[in-house]
Structure 1
Amino acid sequence: MFLGTYTPRLDDKGRLTLPAKFRDELRGGLMITKGQDHCLYVFTRDAFTEMARKIAAAPLTNEAARVFQRNLFSGTDEQNPDGQGRIMITPELRRYAGLAKDCVVIGAFTRVEIWDAQAWQQYQADHEDEYAKAREGVLPGLI
């Protein structure tokens, strides 16, 4: 399970140091792919494989499924963190997410998300009011 918010920096070689709390779970390898909202998603290999099987099962006759499959699978990179917990973010994935130096890495329970720091701040500002309202639709009667 991935939780929390961290602020690592992307180095000049395009490497990002994963939060220490996430390293054990990602030590066996990970998959980095394009996420929604121009962030990157990081999954364990097992979680990605499980998700990919479900996505690949969509009928080829469904145009939306083809678009999603093509974008997801063509933009995925398999990584193994080095001894210092660093991963290499490909130039294409850095471009997609607008990553420069300052990044935000968040735990999103089943996945890790990597954001450009300014994009994350803007996303938070744009959606702050929606968070309070969404509780009723997402968690009716639980909180």
Structure 2
Amino acid sequence: MIGFLGEYEATLDTKGRFLLPGALKKQLPEGESRFVISRGFEKCLNLYPINTWEGIVAKISKLNDFDPKVRQFKLLFLGGATEVELDSAGRMLLPPSLKEFAGLTKDIVLAANIDKINIWDAGKYKQFFEEFSSEAFSALAAEVMGGVNENL
């Protein structure tokens, strides 16, 4: 897998479930139906395939618990993280506390983010992009990517 690609619209039902789009399902490793969902750094959720999550937890478990910043990070990053699974219809249930954290309403966007999928409220996702001018995006790219210019 080279990473997840694309952005997809979905709808939450009254129970907080959504149907994982077929185009995203095709990008999953064969037979993968288990995920971990957690709070994102922005007001969105992160959906990790279970194998990706296990690698992240392995790195986090090596951090020094005697460092208060490590404990704070672990609480913020791991707090609320929940294992979820696709049901027989290909739907996923969002935990209510995480749904509330991200302010998810009926319409959501599933945005690929290399090794995870970000789940956004559709209105907040649109607003995020509206707030970035092309000049601001260009400046951000230059700052983040620095001198890296291979194949861009």
1:54 paired residue number: 59
Which residue of the partner structure matches residue 100 of structure 1?
105
Q: How far has the Cα of 1:83 moved from its partner?
A: 2.3
Alignment of 1:16-95 (within 5 A): 16-24=18-26, 25=28, 27-95=32-100
Of structures 1 and 2, the larger Rg is shown by 2
Q: 1:5 to 1:76 in 2, by over 3 A?
A: same
TM-score normalised to structure 1 length:
0.91
Amino acid at match of 1:138: V
Aligned length: 143
Identity percentage over the alignment?
27
TM-score (norm 2): 0.86
The code of the aligned residue for 1:135 comes to A
Greater helix share, structure number: 1
Aligned to 2:6: 4
Q: Report SS of the residue matched to 1:57.
A: coil
RMSD: 1.6
**Which runs of 5 or more residues in structure 2 are unaligned?**
none
> Unpaired segments of 5 or more residues in structure 1?
none
1:56 offset after TM fit, Å? 2.1
